[in-house]
Structure 1
Amino acid sequence: MLARLLRWIGLVGALGVAGWVGWCFRQGFGLGATLGPVLALLGLNALALALEQAMAAAVHGQDPAPRPSVAARCRAWARELWSSTLAFGWAMPFASQRWPDTPTGAGTGGRGVLLVHGYLCNRGFWNPWYPRLQALGVPVVSVSLEPVFCSIEDYADQIDAALVQLQRATGQAPLVVCHSMGGLAVRAWRRSRLLRGEDAAATDARVHHVLTIGTPHRGTWLARFGRRPNAIQMRRDSPWLQGLAASESAAWRARFICVWSACDNVTFPPRCATLDGAAPIHQPGRAHQDLLDDPAVFTLVLALRESGST
């Protein structure tokens, strides 16, 4: 669904640019007048990311995280521009099925890894990680959370099916790695199992650890601009988030590791990416999607996969 939507947006944009350029040449416009609006259109992503960084800086307020310098935010913006352009311009619209799931891994296999993407994304978001994990023989499965615009708890069955697949293939509880909204979807998955009458301890044991990356556990200031159900749920201290927190135990929270950054341009203020009772890990100077490009985060995934039980 999302891949098709992104392809249509790209097609409409390309036709619009081609039509504009053709019309300008027929009218005899100069090169500057012709390419100026085109470059402005192509720069919309850069402008949006810069605006997000500006908003994050403006609402940092009394957040206990160190306030990033302007230079740090500019570097984070540049890396985010590159990574988001690749993800939304190629990987998610055209290559979301480029890397198949390998639930049994290769060689010794071992514990599997479930990858859960965030808002307005699909499994193509994880394309940079797939070949690296598969080269190491790691069993890996990812989901495409759809419909794109719905309540977050509606993704619970997709996550449950992926957990079952990895558990059956490896005989071990998977490590779950989530980006952004994906971390909330996994928390909502647990609540859905409890509402169905499952035992809390048994449900908790179905995951080894949950590593969240830039997840708005306490909501995010940016979500105030969203109008769809899952965006509304991610508003700061929303009733949905409060209900989710009330359903959780200390033992469940202890399975979480929360990677966050003071330069995050989507989940802010920074403390919003942390969870009471979970281990926080600060990766300074990284923007929202750019956190996945941090080598330390990938190394942490491998370490957690090999670690003992909680």
Structure 2
Amino acid sequence: MSVLQVSELTKRFGKFTALNGINLEVREGEVFGFIGPNGAGKSTTIRILLGILKATAGEAKIFGKDAWADAVEIHKRISYVPGDVNLWPNLTGGEVIDLFVKLRGGNNTNRREELIKRFDLDPSKKCRTYSKGNRQKVALVAAFSSDADLYILDEPTSGLDPLMEQVFQQCVMEQKQSGKSILLSSHILSEVEKLCDRVGIIRQGKIIETGTLSELRHLTRINLLVKTKEQITDLHVLKGIHEIDEREGVLSFQVDTEELDVVMKHISQFGVVKLESTPPTLEDLFMRHYEGKAGAGGRS
């Protein structure tokens, strides 16, 4: 079942087209990764979903309701964390968390206390004294203390140290296990890879690829390290071979997934002594889509 549905969404700012007919779907109980470089259109999409911006054309629906017309109703069931959190300077972190939780009608103090401890946050300090990382923690504690059905997280770990990133990842998995849906926009590709069921890649206002990581990996290359008894010949003439490099008798290269069978048959003739294969990372996938395609950036 779809929790969030975006169809042919377009947003123009004057003559500049920030979003050009994008389609997105987040299903119930899934973590959907939304990735792309700065200026690709991620934040513009999220602002439309939050009812902050009105789309020029197309539609954005959350829980079957219109993101612009029914924004107030929708906000009762969503939690949002931006990448740059601004807080009231004279309130303490604890007061801000309480305010956000009460706005959503929640009152789970045990959950709040547990999250404050896990994120190692001092809630008694005034917000003006907080670092960027601590401001981010306040927003995350407030978001995960609320009983939302959909979490919209836009670069949520910006400013967090690796230990706190791990805590964040655990919180996301807990929400997923309890059937909640999460839209995660992030440039930390290893984070997306760990957490997301499906991924959408956006470039210059268009979704250029959507699918599970295993589906997307079929479109890319596998990294191979090979050592053989005899020297491998004619490797470069095979289809789908890239970036051949040899060091101390060990050959490393990339091979297109669909050509792997032919390549393995070829190298096995030379007496394989050592063979290591690593699947492409999301970063490999992402870079392949962007290599030589980077255009002028615009609004994000």
Structure 2 length as normaliser, TM-score?
0.25
For the pair shown, the structure with the greater C-alpha radius of gyration is: 2
Higher normalized contact order (CA 8 Å, seq sep 6+, divided by chain length): 2
Larger helix share, 1 or 2: 1
